[in-house]
Amino acid sequence: MLKSGARTLAGIVVLLPAVLLLSSCAKPEVRKMGGPCSYEEFAGSARFVELKPLQAGVEAFFVFTPADAKVTEKYRFDRNQKGPASMGIHSAEWFAAKGVAVGRELPAVYKELRTGTCSPTFFSFPTISDAHGE
């Protein structure tokens, strides 16, 4: 009986390091980070619905309307379409200089990620070149 237990223990002592060694050699899953990204673009307009004063400046909110209502069927991400989106925080003077005011509409483009690992969605404003550092 003692010999059987010793054999089992010896087998574990021999096999355990081998299993650990082999499992450490397995390639870990590698997620691709960065790289080129491509977006599908949907032209439309942004109607500004609120200019909210903050300590850091003013945040502008808008509702995007695509030029072709049927393109919404192509949207993969719809989180920006359920309510007002933010244009970001700038000074009140910056918004005034860019023509941003409540009730005003400006050309806008909704962009959705198709390939790569970049931001899934964002908006750009063709008449405002520095709206998001573009």
Provide the pLDDT for residue 28. Answer: 56
CA distance 81 to 71: 12
pTM of the model: 0.66
Taking only the tens place, the pLDDT of each residue in 11-63 is 555 555 655 555 555 555 555 566 689 999 999 999 999 999 999 999 999 99
Which amino acid appears at position 4 of this protein?
A: S
Provide the pLDDT for residue 27. Answer: 56
Whether the Cβ atoms of residue 95 and residue 51 lie closer than 8 Å to each other: yes
Taking only the tens place, the pLDDT of each residue in 91-120 is 999 999 999 999 999 999 999 898 998 888
- C-alpha separations of 71 from 33, 35, 68, 75, 76 in Å: 29, 27, 6, 7, 11
